[in-house]
Amino acid sequence: MTTHYTGTTTQATLQFATALSRKTDTEAATRDLADAILMQIGTAPIDLVFVFFSAHHASKATMISTMLQKALRAKVCLGCSGEGVIAGSQEIETAAALTVWVACLPDVKLTPLQISVSQLQDQIRMPGWPEPGIEDTTFLLLADPFSTPMQEVLSLINERYPHAKVGGGLAGGGQDSGENRLLLNDQSYDGGVVGVQLTGPITVRTVTSQGCRPIGERFVVTRAEQNLIYELGGVSALKRLQDVFESMEGVQRSDAHRALHLGIVIDEHGSHFERGDFLVRNLIGADQQAGAVAIGDVVQEGQTVQFHLRDAKSASDDLHVCLASDRAKHHAPPLGALLFSCCGRGEGLFGQPHHDIGVVQERLGPIPTAGFFAQGEIGSVGGRNFLHGYTASVVIFSEPDS
């Protein structure tokens, strides 16, 4: 199949481009993409490359990175395998696909990063990472879910770099440890984390759409232990959950059995809480005898929580609102974007293809955008960085706001 040219943007000195190939021959696809990118970029030196590929190409990951480095001569090249590939205006969920996204970022400092985790000693090693204390900086990370305790990695980054933004996703396509692929420059890895730090004259924003809407009342956690909530507002948590179910109509109630979550307020100092103030976590079980519910995170007594419902309409509305809100806050137009979308979204959730990328293009314009369907998405909520599920995490690049 032919290579799709999916566009380039230039403004001032920043330049972005992306291209997509659906060829099954990895070498031919990579060569076509390098040619397509060079045709768009011309002679401008390429600073940053992201490459995302379906499982069909995973066994030839080293070839992809070697060929791209030779052809594009980028300062930093990152990539990974995914459950599906996103590029231009398309989301390719099951077929073979390979996309390359590039950025020319004059005067922006790029630092390639890697993290390895020793499974025996449970140690997180971060060689070459910058000293703590940096102010305005962005980390873009790609990680293997089988080998990396990403929640712990992000906690460490939040602690070391409290003002940093982090975006990215967990690689996919593989069914077991060692089957996913990560790329850093001309090297291929089957575990750990690869990434890049950006500092300098560029604005990089992360927009995290958790795809839920709050339902029912808000409660203060009055008794909890680790990830078990025993009481909400002095009443059994399970009783509160049952009350929420009973307040719903028939279709909504059947949706809630599959898609009910709990939102935890990030900043308790707010006077009112709305979309974006909650960290949404899965409900993973209930203890009938103790009247407790279990969620996919640690909860503390005194925190404010609210049940949330995730369905196609909520997820679509949330992405529209999050992107529109971000766009309204910033004067400089978006020039390029990366999209990390959960593999639980896509056509399976929305009943139609290309939903998330369609919303991104509608809200941000037809800018060069690429990404993949991930096994977990990294993005900020309430000024802190978290690992999410069922989320669309968008990284937006623009000139600094004047």
For the chain, domains (ranges, CATH) are 3-209+316-398 (no CATH), 213-309 (2.40.30)
Query: In whole angstroms, how far apart are CA 367 and each of 18, 245, 333, 364?
Result: 9, 42, 10, 7
β-pair partners for 117: 124
Q: What is the pLDDT of residue 64?
A: 97
CA angle at 103 for the pair 102 and 104, rounded to the nearest 5°? 130
Q: What is the pLDDT of residue 1?
A: 42
Q: What is the pLDDT of residue 388?
A: 94
User: For the whole model, what pTM was predicted?
Assistant: 0.91
- CA dist 162 and 153 (Å) reads 13
pLDDT tens, residue order, the chain (402 aa): 445 545 665 544 899 999 999 999 999 999 999 999 999 999 999 999 999 999 999 999 999 999 999 999 999 999 999 999 999 999 999 999 999 999 999 999 999 999 988 766 578 888 888 888 767 799 999 999 999 999 999 999 999 999 999 999 999 998 888 899 999 998 999 999 999 999 999 999 999 999 888 888 889 999 999 899 998 999 888 888 888 887 777 666 666 666 788 888 887 766 666 667 789 898 888 888 888 899 988 999 999 999 888 889 999 999 999 999 999 999 999 999 999 999 999 999 999 999 999 999 999 999 999 999 999 999 999 888 999 999 999 999 999 876
Q: What is the pLDDT of residue 8?
A: 61
Closest to 212 in 3D by CA, of 148, 168, 263, 174: 263
- CA dist 391 and 343 (Å) reads 9
Q: What is the pLDDT of residue 289?
A: 87
Q: What is the pLDDT of residue 290?
A: 87
